[in-house]
Chains A and B, each alone.
Chain A
């Protein structure tokens, strides 16, 4: 099953490679990984999207906790959470596509943030599956380029990952 794992770690050179190295060395799946400093610049927050059996996920959490630079780990799937990802898609905007892309963008609550003679850039945020759904919904031949940030996750309500 897909899991979102959030973690806080020391914002130090090499910390990211310890996490990435752990996943490759132990053969864990990694669908996406995002990282940036938090409001406290000495801490980075990472969201890892991974999948595996409950046993594998349990091991992943334990192994992450074992890394000396990692301060806190939370399996977001243990409770209610929000997942968001940003995608930029450059699509053809010629002929029938010019109107159709605008319509699809509206349906998915995206925004057109760049308009050129032959193309648009659409900005879309949502869960990974919503972004997938958008790509499935539009004509494949219209897609020129896509870039996605990978998911960020946060627990709802009282669930707070902080020091």
Chain B
């Protein structure tokens, strides 16, 4: 039997076991929407802006490991999706975005709502396709899902002209894909792995540094085994949080620009680093020249060869899926009769515990203005560390990363690579739909939340009981902090004026609104909000306007050159 292109699309999504499609209709995708109307396998989530559709699909993927799917129309629908696609690309999130396109005869004619989607997305997708023949539609969709999820994952765009969705073809969904041009390396080189184990066992000041690759590669359990077996310190990047349990004593906290003193100092002073699914980016190692001042040996496991030796030269590269490589490493360790030097390790931990004693994340607990750190800490307590936490971008994001202790992977959902303000609320939607029973908190700022505030409507329509934790400092806080430090307090355009009454705004969308101004009320309010299990609650915390994020490694500086608090540097210790 022949199906229309549109029907083929919905059938393919069914074959891929897709439960949710996040989207927004328009002329070029009317046939696809008609086919959606006639099926009941997956649920379509109608957002209020295409950017939010892509973010929600992205977060659905981040929190489940499955491929997220978004659907947008041509032209403005497609361009509205770009920020979402670029955000997912930077964090290697597997996603398939289907965009409508004008009918094939119209392509290149400046037709109504025509935009060169394949051209515009090329730099921010893992791959993209323009489907020009309905007979190739199903196989293209199969390829798209395969490419998105395999190797180093990433978003794939399929641009589908309207006439292709109307033409008919015989439907058969390929069972497998073979592409001569695309064969990711998954198994690590055994010689390199042997070398790595030898170096690790001989290390005097070892450091295990892990990133988003451990979370994306579902390798947390293996990482824990390895770290426990070796007894070495471990740090996570912003994207890697939850990859190793934050409440474990071997965890030194996050490293990097706003990382802890102990993580950054240990990283800098280590003699052997095992990097797992992390990429030594500028927010992590600061100035690479300063980082390389210290002689050390670096072992780097990554599924993407181009991530290895990109910013920092690596001594032992291991290309492969982190899960496979860690499994092989553990097997070798089991066989080995060597063990790490106890005395060296003891001395190393002593040094580390000295840095720990500085308690770099301590904050003023006696203030009568709400401290943002206090809110996050209490949120962690009230949710028993079990919540899924999405975040926007800014100071609140860093506080969330520092003070919410993630013990499980896929619980911390934020835009690390692109740093996209506005992701928080749509991220929470994707997460809540994937985990209807879970507690989902969206930590945000008054700047960020207003970038996708229209989604309050979507949350109402789909009864999503998200809790928004707004740390309202009336500033674009992260911008203000940089202006304070590096632009002599010239707060150029960083004050957020004319804010709405967030309580009334939430209520007008059918939600519960709360305003919290007194530190003594934080815990009670959080408990009250989370007790409203089936309600969306918007919590407007009025916080200290001038609070800064510490520690901080200023841009272009080295990891050990961090500022601990107002005007205290490591040299002052």
Chain A: residues with CB nearer than 8 A to chain B?
9-10, 13-14, 17-18, 21, 25, 55, 58-59, 62-63, 65-66, 68-71, 163
Give chain A nearest CB distance to B59 CB in angstroms.
25
Cβ < 8 Å to A, chain B residues 277-322: 304-306, 309-310, 313
CA distance A63 to B123 in the complex (A): 12
Q: Given A25-B123, A65-B305, A10–B181 Cβ distance below 8 Å?
A: yes
CA distance A163 to B181 in the complex (A): 10
Contact at A163–B180, with CB atoms within 8 Å? yes
Give chain A nearest CB distance to B181 CB in angstroms.
4
CA distance A63 to B127 in the complex (A): 13
Give chain A nearest CB distance to B58 CB in angstroms.
20
Contact of A66 among B119, B123, B304, B313 (CB under 8 A): B304
B374-388 vs A, CB cutoff 8 Å, 1 = contact: the mask equals 000000000000000
Chain A residue contacts of B309, Cβ below 8 A: 55, 58-59
B122 interface hit (Cβ, 8 Å): yes
Chain B residue contacts of A59, Cβ below 8 A: 306, 309-310
B118 interface hit (Cβ, 8 Å): yes
CA distance A109 to B313 in the complex (A): 46
B97-126 vs A, CB cutoff 8 Å, 1 = contact: the mask equals 000000000000000000000110011001
Chain A residue contacts of B130, Cβ below 8 A: 13-14
Contact at B119–A68, with CB atoms within 8 Å? no
Contact at A18–B122, with CB atoms within 8 Å? yes
Chain A residue contacts of B118, Cβ below 8 A: 14
Chain A interface helix/strand/loop/mixed: helix
Give chain B nearest CB distance to A161 CB in angstroms.
14
CA distance A9 to B179 in the complex (A): 12
Q: Given A63-B306, A163-B180, A17–B147 Cβ distance below 8 Å?
A: no
B37 interface hit (Cβ, 8 Å): no
Contact at A62–B181, with CB atoms within 8 Å? no
CA distance A25 to B180 in the complex (A): 26
Give chain B nearest CB distance to A163 CB in angstroms.
7
Ranked nearest first, the 9 interchain pairs of A and B with the lowest CB-CB distance are A62-B306, A68-B127, A71-B181, A62-B305, A68-B182, A25-B123, A21-B122, A63-B306, A66-B306
Chain A residue contacts of B182, Cβ below 8 A: 68
CA distance A81 to B418 in the complex (A): 42
Contact at B122–A17, with CB atoms within 8 Å? yes
CA distance A66 to B183 in the complex (A): 10
Contact at B304–A68, with CB atoms within 8 Å? no
Chain A residue contacts of B313, Cβ below 8 A: 55
CA distance A10 to B182 in the complex (A): 11
Chain B: residues with CB nearer than 8 A to chain A?
118-119, 122-123, 126-127, 130, 147, 179-182, 304-306, 309-310, 313
Give chain B nearest CB distance to A46 CB in angstroms.
13
Task: Return 26 A-B CB contacts under 8 Å, by A number.
Answer: A10-B181, A13-B130, A14-B118, A14-B122, A14-B130, A17-B122, A18-B122, A21-B123, A25-B123, A55-B313, A58-B309, A59-B309, A59-B310, A62-B305, A63-B306, A65-B306, A66-B304, A66-B305, A68-B126, A68-B147, A68-B179, A68-B181, A68-B182, A69-B181, A70-B181, A71-B181
The closest CB in chain A to the CB of B128 belongs to A14
Chain B residue contacts of A71, Cβ below 8 A: 180-181
Most buried by B among A68, A71, A163: A68
CA distance A58 to B304 in the complex (A): 14
Chain B residue contacts of A70, Cβ below 8 A: 181
CA distance A21 to B124 in the complex (A): 11
Give chain B nearest CB distance to A50 CB in angstroms.
16
The closest CB in chain A to the CB of B143 belongs to A68
Give chain A nearest CB distance to B288 CB in angstroms.
12
CA distance A70 to B123 in the complex (A): 16
CA distance A151 to B503 in the complex (A): 67
Contact at B306–A9, with CB atoms within 8 Å? no
The closest CB in chain B to the CB of A20 belongs to B122
Chain A residue contacts of B305, Cβ below 8 A: 62, 65-66
CA distance A68 to B118 in the complex (A): 14
Give chain B nearest CB distance to A80 CB in angstroms.
26
Chain A residue contacts of B123, Cβ below 8 A: 21, 25
Chain B residue contacts of A25, Cβ below 8 A: 123
CA distance A133 to B271 in the complex (A): 52
Chain A residue contacts of B306, Cβ below 8 A: 59, 62-63, 65-66
CA distance A18 to B119 in the complex (A): 9
The closest CB in chain A to the CB of B127 belongs to A68
Give chain A nearest CB distance to B174 CB in angstroms.
17
Give chain A nearest CB distance to B150 CB in angstroms.
11
Contact at B181–A17, with CB atoms within 8 Å? no
Give chain A nearest CB distance to B410 CB in angstroms.
25
CA distance A14 to B107 in the complex (A): 15
Give chain B nearest CB distance to A119 CB in angstroms.
39
Chain B residue contacts of A21, Cβ below 8 A: 122-123
Chain A residue contacts of B180, Cβ below 8 A: 71, 163
CA distance A70 to B181 in the complex (A): 6
Chain B residue contacts of A68, Cβ below 8 A: 126-127, 147, 179, 181-182
Give chain B nearest CB distance to A9 CB in angstroms.
7
CA distance A18 to B126 in the complex (A): 11
Chain A residue contacts of B127, Cβ below 8 A: 68
Give chain A nearest CB distance to B488 CB in angstroms.
32
